[in-house]
Amino acid sequence: MSQDSVARTLQYLAEGLVDDPAAVSVSCLDDRGTTVYDVHVADDDVGKVIGRQGRVAAAMRLVARAVAMKSHRKIQVEFGP
Amino acid sequence: MPMRKATAPDPELRPDEVEQDHAEEPEVQAEPDDRDLAAVESIRELCEVSGLDMRPEVRGVEGSYLKIELIGEDAERIFGEHGRMLDALQFVANLIISRKLGPGVRVLLDAGGYRERRLKMLTDLAREYAAEVKARGEECEIDSLPPHERRIIHKLLSEDPDVMTYSEGEEPDRRIIIAPREIPSA
Which chain B residue has the Cα nearest residue A48? B95
- Band (B186; pLDDT cuts 50, 70, 90): low
Tell me how close the Cα of A57 comes to any Cα of chain B, in angstroms: 9
The closest of B66, B65, B64 to B56, measured between CA atoms, is B66
Q: Which of A3-7, B50-54, B62-66 has the lowest mean pLDDT?
A: B62-66
Q: Where are the beta strands (DSSP E) in B35-99?
A: 55-62, 65-71
Residue B14: the pLDDT is: 38
Number of H helices, E strands in chain B: 6, 8
- pTM for the whole structure: 0.82
Q: Taking residues A62-70, what's their average pLDDT?
A: 96
Residue B93: the pLDDT is: 97
Print the domain residue range for A35: 3-80
Question: Kindly report the CA angle at B90 between B84 and B94, in degrees rounded to 5?
Answer: 150
Q: Is A42 in contact with A15 (CB distance < 8 Å)?
A: no
The H-or-E segment that residue A61 falls in is helix A55-69
Q: Express each pLDDT in B144-169 by its tens digit.
A: 999 889 999 999 999 999 999 999 99
Partner-chain contact A67 B50, CB within 8 Å = yes
Tell me how close the Cα of A32 comes to any Cα of chain B, in angstroms: 24
Q: Is B140 in contact with B129 (CB distance < 8 Å)?
A: yes
The closest of B23, B59, B46 to B92, measured between CA atoms, is B46
Domain count, chain A: 1
Residue A12 touches chain B, beta carbons under 8 Å? yes
The closest of A65, A62, A22 to A45, measured between CA atoms, is A22
Q: Taking residues B99-115, what's their average pLDDT?
A: 93
- In the beta sheet, which residues pair with residue B163? B180
- Band (A12; pLDDT cuts 50, 70, 90): very high
**Buried b or exposed e, range A14-28, using 16+ CB within 10 angstroms:** bbbbbeeeebbebeb
pLDDT at A21 over 50: yes
Neighbours of B103 (CB within 10 A): 9
Q: What CATH number has the domain bearing residue A59?
A: 3.30.300.20
Nearest to A12 among B45, B74, B84 (CB): B45
